[in-house]
Amino acid sequence: MRILTLVPGGIGDQILFFPTLETLKEEYPKSKIDVIVEPRSKGAYRVCPGVNEVLLFDYKARNGLADYLNLLGTIRDREYDIAITLGQRWTVGLLLWLNGISTRVGYQTDSSWFITNPVLLNTEQYAAYMYHDLVKGLGINVSTPPIRITLPKEDINWAKVESSRLGLGDKGYILIHGGSSRLAQLKGIDKIYPATKWHKVIDDLQQKQPELPIVLIQGPEDTEWVEQMQENRPYLKVTSPDDLGKLAAMIAGANLMLCTDSGPMHLSVAVGTYTIALFGPTQVSKLLPPDSDRYVGIQSPTNEISDIQPETLLQYIWRG
């Protein structure tokens, strides 16, 4: 059996979809499961071993007829038995129908005309649960497993070498990720906590636990943020993993992850690191697992992330 899953969105969306992929593999252990994702999200599947092939399609681009015909050919060549789509565009359903895929699972909407097995869309829940609801379209009624990833051995080894390079020692370290993707900024979604407020948190940590290193995660778009963070604080260390596996390995070794709503936050949940995340316009209840004291979300009272006071974050850090 061959199963195709179509998962638009960024790295975080892919990680939140991992439990669905895990359930599909458990229910159909001999199947080959492929995913179609946006180019920016391909790296997520470095830590998801159950996927056979990662195919690329830019769902959000202004795709013309030629783009859809190319995708049509890619899908047809692989002769899928089942297709599951997170997207709600009727054009995707049409594409799957044109390919002759007999079982087409998707959310029930006003335009889900080409979906054979529609599933009710419940957006008022943790996103991993919402995505996992799609397996109900195949008659599968099981609980959503937790997000799990598999770290390549080479990435674990890289993290050990990186920890040595940074002089982190054996007492652990605190990681801070405060970046925000350029796409989020273009959409006007404010996920960057001001460096001046991070400084108040860092100064308190440094005063109370000076022996515990603090490490900043620097992604491709975080250069300016890191420079602001290191101003007058040369003791802050910086790590720049070049893929998701290495980043996850560094997060797995941390005592504490401080971050904003982001892909690294979902990685932190996946590896089980104690996490405190700051939320502005996005909602804690939809992006962190419920009923867990290991993953704490602090929601801005105004939906502006900058309005979260450092003292509030410090209360959660020291409450244990």
Instruction: Say yes or no to pLDDT of 183 above 60.
Output: no
Instruction: Say yes or no to pLDDT of 181 above 60.
Output: no
Instruction: Say yes or no to pLDDT of 124 above 70.
Output: yes
| pLDDT value at residue 29 | 96
Beta bridge partners of 263: none
- Domains in the chain (CATH in brackets) are 2-138 (3.40.50.2000), 153-318 (3.40.50.2000)
CB-based burial label for 311 (10 Å; 0-12, 13-18, 19+): exposed
110-148 burial code (b ≥16 CB/10 A, e <16) = eebebbbbbbeeeeeebbbbbbbbbbebbeeeeebeebe
Beta bridge partners of 36: 6, 55
pLDDT, tens digit (0-9, with 9 covering 90-100), for 256-300: 999 999 999 999 999 999 999 999 999 999 999 998 889 999 999
pLDDT, tens digit (0-9, with 9 covering 90-100), for 11-57: 999 999 999 999 999 999 999 999 999 999 999 999 998 899 999 99
Q: What is the largest CA-CA distance in the chain?
A: 64
| pLDDT value at residue 64 | 77
Instruction: Say yes or no to pLDDT of 1 above 70.
Output: yes
Residues 257 and 172: beta-carbon distance below 8 Å? no
Give me the mean pLDDT over the 168-190 stretch: 76
Instruction: Say yes or no to pLDDT of 313 above 90.
Output: yes
| pLDDT value at residue 184 | 54
**How sure is the predictor about 70, in pLDDT bands with cuts at 50, 70 and 90?**
confident
Strand order in the sheet with 103-107: 53-56, 32-37, 2-6, 82-85, 103-107, 117-119
Query: For 122-126, 163-167, 231-235, 266-270, which range has the lowest pLDDT when averaged over its residues?
Result: 231-235
**How sure is the predictor about 72, in pLDDT bands with cuts at 50, 70 and 90?**
confident
**How sure is the predictor about 65, in pLDDT bands with cuts at 50, 70 and 90?**
confident
| pLDDT value at residue 175 | 98
Q: What rounded mean pLDDT belongs to the chain?
A: 93
